[in-house]
A and B are shown apart, each in its own frame.
Chain A
Amino acid sequence: MPHNRPISPHLQIYRLPLTGLISISHRLTGVLLSIGLLGLVFIARQITLGEENFNQIQLALNTLPMKMLIIGFVYALMFHLCHGVRHLIWDAGRTFSREKLTYYARIELVISASLTLFIARELM
């Protein structure tokens, strides 16, 4: 038998619709945010150790790479949050038609980016 049967589609070659891309990104941001939690607990630890440790961590957090990382964390959080709200709406049995899926996927992206911009401006 010739070996010309196609294998099942992989994430890399299957062209996912926007909702599919957002769905996998929702999981990805969830995992990344979990890793980011380590950093937050570390900061809490530094605060308990006293003023000197707090000042050191604050200095480190105010460097450009760390600020970029913080904005990345905030974007991941806002993206995860917006898609989470979408899941809550889906659970109520709404917005399942194909047009609405793509329409709300775009709205989600715009809202998460806007929230990130707003928060980043307040934080930086």
Chain B
Amino acid sequence: MRNVFTKPHLAHFHWLQQRLSAFFLLPLSYWLLMFVERCLHANYSEMLTWLHSPMNKYGLIAWFLLVCYHGALGIQVVFEDYILRSRQRLAIWSANTFFIGLALCAVLFLVQI
């Protein structure tokens, strides 16, 4: 609790980032669902055509980036609530690394296509 009172701006900033990322993820989920639908039914050239359209490519990239950011913020709170304080820092660091790695891979792959 001390941190919340001595650094209120940090807690508030975390809360705001989580809500803002959630808000923008709502419409961006459309591209995720379209992507999954094409993974199931489109042939390879249809998939490429869909992904080469800038609207779809950048919509999907934006979804991946924001969802990794939103996920990292969320997992941080879960770890703060359930993991012993002495191990929290390592756990949060590992989760952040996981999400940064995933976001980088996703962008790298989608740009290549």
Residues of A within 8 A of B (CB): 27, 30-31, 33-34, 37-38, 40-41, 43-45, 47-48, 51, 54-55, 57-58, 61-62, 70, 74, 77, 81, 84-85, 87-88, 91, 119, 122-124
Q: Once bound together, how far apart are the Cα atoms of A4 and B64, in whole Å?
A: 52
21 A-B residue contacts at CB 8 Å?
A27-B74, A27-B78, A30-B74, A31-B75, A31-B78, A33-B71, A34-B75, A37-B71, A37-B102, A40-B106, A41-B102, A41-B109, A44-B106, A45-B105, A47-B113, A51-B44, A61-B39, A61-B40, A62-B40, A88-B19, A123-B36
Partner of A58, one of B29, B40, B68, B112: B40
Partner of B39, one of A43, A77, A119: A43
At the interface, is chain A mostly helix, strand, loop or mixed? helix
Partner of B23, one of A41, A57, A88: A88
